[in-house]
């Protein structure tokens, strides 16, 4: 597996915009819309993710509402695996399982369809526990991702890794994860 070059890192990081005091005073919001609209940065990022995860024998990628959908769905298509949305409360139409969590600026609840990874989390073709990569744009306190990983477990699948484009590493969120955590870029 080839890693990111220094040039890749500079291009990807340089394409992400800081918005001070959004959504409330004191928060520096990492705006990835400028990464998405930069085809070079977006391609280098997706090439790297596809390269990293091509050997993981994944069955699904689960993306966290809403920016995790963008990276997760694109990666799922590249790897030829299914995509599963983990959504904010009240958005999914079928029977759901829910988990509450706190985030850097408030509280929320996420949900997943009960049969998102097959009945009891067993893959419809292999019959084995589905192997799932969880993805989101950013990890701050880790509350959202922990709740999402717990949902994957609750519906019977295995979360093999949590992947983030950006990690606010000074918050040290990944220290108490029970599954491996990979961040493309860390911000001190
Ligand atoms: P947390 O649960 O604290 O790890 O927060 C992660 C979630 O909140 C992710 O879905 C992020 O998109 C969002 N988020 C938290 N802090 C920021 C930030 N400073 N900039 C952009 N998104 C953030």
Q: What is the CATH number for 105?
A: 3.40.50.2020
Least confident segment among 47-51, 108-112, 132-136, 140-144: 140-144
In the block, tokens 């093999």 appear at 160
In the block, tokens 């419809």 appear at 124
Least confident segment among 99-103, 113-117, 171-175: 99-103
Q: Would residue 32 count as lying in a domain?
A: no
Minimum CA distance residue for ligand 1 atom 12: 138
Residue among 129, 130, 164 at smallest CA distance from 144: 164
Q: How confident is the model at residue 103 (pLDDT cuts 50, 70, 90)?
A: low
In tens, the pLDDT along 53-90 reads: 999 999 999 999 999 999 999 999 999 999 999 999 99
Q: What residues does 156 pair with on adjacent strands?
A: none
Mean pLDDT within 121-143: 94
Find all residues with CB under 8 Å of 63, minimum gap 6, and list them.
Answer: 69, 70, 71, 72, 73, 83, 84, 85, 86, 134, 135, 136
CB atoms under 10 Å from CB of 86, counted, come to 28
pTM strictly above 0.85? yes
Task: Indicate the Cα dihedral angle 38, 44, 48, 51, nearest 10°.
Answer: 120
Q: Would residue 98 count as lying in a domain?
A: yes
Tokens matching residue 57 = 């024998």
In tens, the pLDDT along 162-188 reads: 999 999 999 999 998 999 999 999 999
Give how many domains the chain has, as a whole number.
1
pLDDT number for residue 3 = 86
**For a pocket test of ligand 1, which of 71, 103, 175 has the largest count of ligand atoms closer than 8 A to its C-beta?**
103
- Å from CA of 168 to ligand 1 middle: 9
Q: Would residue 40 count as lying in a domain?
A: no
- Å from CA of 78 to ligand 1 middle: 25
Minimum CA distance residue for ligand 1 atom 17: 29
Minimum CA distance residue for ligand 1 atom 13: 138
Q: Would residue 152 count as lying in a domain?
A: yes
Q: Would residue 52 count as lying in a domain?
A: no
Range of the domain at 90: 57-187
Average pLDDT, the chain: 95
Q: Would residue 124 count as lying in a domain?
A: yes
Is residue 104 a contact partner of residue 27, using CB atoms and an 8 Å limit? yes
| 93 vs 71: CA distance, rounded Å | 23
- Å from CA of 66 to ligand 1 middle: 11
Whether the pLDDT of residue 105 is over 70: the answer is no
Q: Which residues are catalytic?
A: 67, 104
pLDDT number for residue 1 = 54
Using a CB cutoff of 8 Å and minimum separation of 24, what contacts does 76-79 make? 78/46, 78/49, 78/50, 79/50, 79/53, 79/54
């Amino acid at each position: 597996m080839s890693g990111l070059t220094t040039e890749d890192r500079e291009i990807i990081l340089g394409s992400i915009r800081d918005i001070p005091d959004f959504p409330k005073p004191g928060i520096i919001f990492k705006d990835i819309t400028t990464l998405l609209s930069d085809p070079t940065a977006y391609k280098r990022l997706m090439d790297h993710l596809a390269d990293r995860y091509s050997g993981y024998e994944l069955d699904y990628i689960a993306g966290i509402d809403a920016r995790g959908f963008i990276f997760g769905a694109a990666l799922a298509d590249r790897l030829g695996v299914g995509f599963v949305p983990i959504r904010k409360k009240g958005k999914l139409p079928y029977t759901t399982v829910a988990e509450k969590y706190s985030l850097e600026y408030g509280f929320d609840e996420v949900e997943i369809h009960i049969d998102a990874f097959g009945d009891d989390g067993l893959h419809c073709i292999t019959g084995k526990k589905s192997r799932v990569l969880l993805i989101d744009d950013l990890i701050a306190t880790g509350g959202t991702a922990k709740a999402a990983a717990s949902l994957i477990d609750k519906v019977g699948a295995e979360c093999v890794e949590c992947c983030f484009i950006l990690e606010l590493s000074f918050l040290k969120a990944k220290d108490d994860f029970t599954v491996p955590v990979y961040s493309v870029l860390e911000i001190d």
